[in-house]
Chains A and B, each alone.
Chain A
């Protein structure tokens, strides 16, 4: 084998193994969080392969890639903080809306610490060596921790995107539409309209028009049930009434799914079901489906671009707040940051 081919082969083998592990794991159980990590590993192993594919220009490609990554990383805090300001203006002040601002500040602080970590040794002298070393350890710890959280979040975000890219057959039997809060007690919000529009799109592309199940009960501050408002919207947009079955008893996402499942089970033995929800929510929704044994395909509706980062962060926080996931998150943090600190400090001290 020529040198080029053998080089490509050497990097292609582990890369394919990583993608293989991801493919198998996703097909067996798409709701496991570990799939996010597998995706991260597969993507990471593709980078050296990509560089090696450019043959003689491998070094140049790897440098260009590194610069690109560096520039993207530097821009993240600015993008997030700007998004936080937009969220404040458009959606008002609440913790959920401030998540991107907080994350932006966190990443910014982490990057600053990283930068300072490299600057610190310049001020080293015999008198302040203890202070410098201690300071470097603190700076390294903060930057590595921020790096860890960011990496886990980015892998979650990528996986959310991947879940929506998985190709699917179009001939659904039933399409559940995940409801959300109404405006002024009876109107469909932009967020909800986006979901219903997506469901309509699925309906129109389906060779055998499915039954749509708008799902959502009546909240305290609502005049009509979410399902009723959604049904009106659907009819206004040309969906025939006999293709709509309301599910109007649920008050949580879990109930959305359980009651919709009941409706379907009463009517069909082996249905091909789709669940339409906002794109950032697909992971959690599918996870709930798997919990209640509802086999369905997740379809993500478009969400206003400015809304997406905070929503995704909120999803991430919700997933991490489950005890099992939190424990694993902390264990991962200890297992990666502490040895990494050891290795970096050991190298730097020399």
Chain B
């Protein structure tokens, strides 16, 4: 009799454990399904082309023959300073800076930018509203950060390239992000357009990922029927390589079309690829670290100048913090630069060595003259 009783207790307990485990599994499936549903319903789906609001203001027309300074800089959304490491690069960080640090990084970026006194600034990784940058509106900060005696120094155009209500990984999750690229122009700007680039990711991975784009700004040139077309870009970083290549191809088509019209074309930004005009030995790839792509300059055809320096790195790996590390053996990259049409005379293109204090990229300054 005792044996039968014990048998029954055992099977009842087994049943309870099974039910508990099943409830847990069902709960996880439910959470996953809810996340899929929510993100699919709120997915950012930009049009192939969008007109951006541009302030015409009081800016003067651009002159041929005058030196034009164009700066490109990836801001690391203000949170990738020399203290940061990031899990996607092999580090561990997710929330890599507190509010004060983000603010001080932004201030540092703006101060350094202002010192170079550029006519055009192309920023990448500007958070409009993101948990990782404590919901500081970096777009507004940048617009208001360059004042010229109570007037705005630049006309701005901002475009989202990452807009996800909730990125559910890693642990802790990245959360809500609205981030993009921003073009600041100090001359009269006629219009700016957001052009969607091909997205290499499929559903459901695509839901929590970038929708890369270009900002194409049109700046009329004084006494000319041609325009200066300035293109701000930020290609995919963590795809399998084909994404960036396809995006570069689309860029080349657009640039060729503008050049055929006789316009002046400057494309600058973070390519996440090294131009094949730069020797591979400049920044050898260490094992296990993130690898940039290689940009085939040949696909652009004739009539272009490819400007990317190898003497000063434009980007550092985020697999570990920069401060206090061995700078000699650190992994660096050259991925930021310019592609300029032949009707522009390039005076210089330098990557400024600012020691990666405020962001994981160095600025690249182009000085040129429209012919």
In the complex formed, the residue of A with least CB distance to B41 is A48
Q: Is A18 an interface residue (CB 8 A)?
A: yes
Question: Across the interface, do A28 and B37 meet the contact criterion of CB distance under 8 Å?
Answer: no
Chain A residues contacting B203 (CB-CB under 8 Å) are 6, 9-10
Binds B, one of A19-27, A155-163, A231-239: A19-27
Question: Across the interface, do B30 and A11 meet the contact criterion of CB distance under 8 Å?
Answer: no
Q: How far apart are A346's CB and chain B's nearest CB, in angstroms? A: 11
Cβ proximity bits B23-52 to A, threshold 8 Å, 1 near / 0 not: 000100110111011001100000000000
Question: Across the interface, do A10 and B26 meet the contact criterion of CB distance under 8 Å?
Answer: no
Question: Across the interface, do B36 and A14 meet the contact criterion of CB distance under 8 Å?
Answer: yes
Q: Is A45 an interface residue (CB 8 A)?
A: yes
Chain B residues contacting A141 (CB-CB under 8 Å) are none
Chain A residues contacting B22 (CB-CB under 8 Å) are 24, 28
Complex Cα distance, B26 from A20, in Å, reads 9
Chain A: number of interface residues, binned into ranges: 10 to 19
In the complex formed, the residue of B with least CB distance to A19 is B33
Q: Is A200 an interface residue (CB 8 A)?
A: no
Complex Cα distance, B35 from A18, in Å, reads 12
Chain B residues contacting A18 (CB-CB under 8 Å) are 30, 33, 37
Q: How far apart are A66's CB and chain B's nearest CB, in angstroms? A: 14
State the majority secondary structure of interface residues on A: helix
Question: Across the interface, do B40 and A11 meet the contact criterion of CB distance under 8 Å?
Answer: yes
Q: How far apart are A191's CB and chain B's nearest CB, in angstroms? A: 35
Complex Cα distance, B36 from A11, in Å, reads 8
Chain B residues contacting A20 (CB-CB under 8 Å) are 29
Chain B residues contacting A14 (CB-CB under 8 Å) are 33-34, 36-37, 40
Q: Per a CB cutoff under 8 Å, which of B36, B40, B41 touches A17?
A: B36
Q: Is A38 an interface residue (CB 8 A)?
A: yes
Q: Is B204 an interface residue (CB 8 A)?
A: yes
Q: How far apart are A51's CB and chain B's nearest CB, in angstroms? A: 10
Within A32-49, the residues touching B (CB, 8 Å) are: 38, 41, 45, 48
Q: How far apart are B200's CB and chain A's nearest CB, in angstroms? A: 15
Chain B residues contacting A17 (CB-CB under 8 Å) are 29-30, 32-33, 36
State the majority secondary structure of interface residues on B: helix
Q: How far apart are A14's CB and chain B's nearest CB, in angstroms? A: 4
In the complex formed, the residue of B with least CB distance to A18 is B33
Q: Is A13 an interface residue (CB 8 A)?
A: yes
Chain A residues contacting B36 (CB-CB under 8 Å) are 13-14, 17
**Max chain A CB contacts within 10 Å: which of B19, B36, B204?**
B36
Question: Across the interface, do A41 and B30 meet the contact criterion of CB distance under 8 Å?
Answer: yes
Complex Cα distance, B203 from A14, in Å, reads 12
Q: A6-B203, A10-B40, A11-B40 are in contact. Are A21 and B19 (CB under 8 A)?
A: no
Question: Across the interface, do B204 and A10 meet the contact criterion of CB distance under 8 Å?
Answer: yes
Q: Is A29 an interface residue (CB 8 A)?
A: yes
Chain B residues contacting A41 (CB-CB under 8 Å) are 30, 33-34
In the complex formed, the residue of A with least CB distance to B36 is A14
Q: How far apart are A332's CB and chain B's nearest CB, in angstroms? A: 14
**Max chain B CB contacts within 10 Å: which of A6, A14, A25, A41?**
A14
Chain A residues contacting B37 (CB-CB under 8 Å) are 11, 14-15, 18, 45, 48
Complex Cα distance, B202 from A6, in Å, reads 10
Within A44-71, the residues touching B (CB, 8 Å) are: 45, 48
Complex Cα distance, B32 from A29, in Å, reads 22
In the complex formed, the residue of B with least CB distance to A16 is B33
Within A251-298, the residues touching B (CB, 8 Å) are: none
In the complex formed, the residue of B with least CB distance to A34 is B23
Chain B residues contacting A25 (CB-CB under 8 Å) are 26
Q: Per a CB cutoff under 8 Å, which of B19, B30, B33, B204 touches A28?
A: B19
Complex Cα distance, B304 from A108, in Å, reads 70
Q: A10-B203, A29-B19 are in contact. Are A21 and B33 (CB under 8 A)?
A: yes
Chain A residues contacting B204 (CB-CB under 8 Å) are 10, 13
Cβ proximity bits B149-186 to A, threshold 8 Å, 1 near / 0 not: 00000000000000000000000000000000000000
**Max chain B CB contacts within 10 Å: which of A10, A17, A29?**
A10
In the complex formed, the residue of B with least CB distance to A37 is B30
Complex Cα distance, B30 from A14, in Å, reads 9
Chain A residues contacting B40 (CB-CB under 8 Å) are 10-11, 14, 48
Complex Cα distance, B19 from A169, in Å, reads 26
Complex Cα distance, B257 from A66, in Å, reads 46
Complex Cα distance, B162 from A311, in Å, reads 52
Complex Cα distance, B204 from A14, in Å, reads 11
Q: How far apart are B199's CB and chain A's nearest CB, in angstroms? A: 13
Question: Across the interface, do A45 and B30 meet the contact criterion of CB distance under 8 Å?
Answer: no
Within A209-225, the residues touching B (CB, 8 Å) are: none
Q: How far apart are A225's CB and chain B's nearest CB, in angstroms? A: 34
Question: Across the interface, do A38 and B33 meet the contact criterion of CB distance under 8 Å?
Answer: no
Tell me the B residues contacting A by CB distance below 8 Å.
Answer: 19, 22, 26, 29-30, 32-34, 36-37, 40-41, 203-204
29 intermolecular pairs with C-beta atoms under 8 Å apart: A6-B203, A9-B203, A10-B40, A10-B203, A10-B204, A11-B40, A13-B33, A14-B33, A14-B34, A14-B36, A14-B37, A15-B37, A17-B29, A17-B30, A17-B36, A18-B30, A18-B33, A20-B29, A21-B29, A21-B30, A21-B33, A28-B19, A29-B19, A38-B30, A41-B30, A41-B33, A45-B33, A48-B37, A48-B41
Extra contacts, 13 of them, besides A17-B29, A48-B40 (Cβ < 8 A), are: A11-B37, A13-B36, A13-B204, A14-B34, A14-B37, A17-B32, A18-B30, A21-B29, A21-B30, A24-B26, A29-B19, A41-B34, A48-B41
**A-B pairs, 9 with minimum CB distance:** A17-B33, A14-B37, A14-B36, A14-B33, A21-B26, A10-B203, A10-B40, A18-B33, A21-B29
